[in-house]
């Protein structure tokens, strides 16, 4: 996405250009469908700490 802003353009013109670019670009993702999808036998915090310490 490229927006060309020329020297001397009014602030309103710039905002209208940016608003046109943003219009209709939002994509809504329902993250609730992934909640509880993984069944872990161990404590998630312990696993995360273990995975982070693998690099040391």
Residue the block writes with tokens 């905002």: 15
- With a threshold of 0.75, does the pTM exceed it? no
Give pLDDT, residue 11: 93
CA distances 19 to 2, 16, 36, 38, 50, Å, are 13, 5, 37, 39, 45
Q: How far apart are CA 56 and CA 54, in angstroms?
A: 6
Give pLDDT, residue 37: 83
Q: Do the Cβ atoms of 18 and 3 come closer than 8 Å?
A: yes
Note down pLDDT in tens along the chain; length 56 residues. Answer: 688 889 999 999 999 988 887 776 677 888 888 888 888 889 989 999 999 988 76
């Amino acid at each position: 996405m490229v927006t060309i802003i020329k020297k001397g353009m009014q602030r309103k013109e710039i905002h209208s250009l940016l608003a046109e670019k943003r219009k209709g670009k939002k994509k809504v993702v329902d993250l609730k469908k992934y909640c509880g999808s993984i069944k872990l036998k161990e404590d998630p915090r312990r696993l995360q700490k273990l995975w982070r310490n693998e690099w040391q």
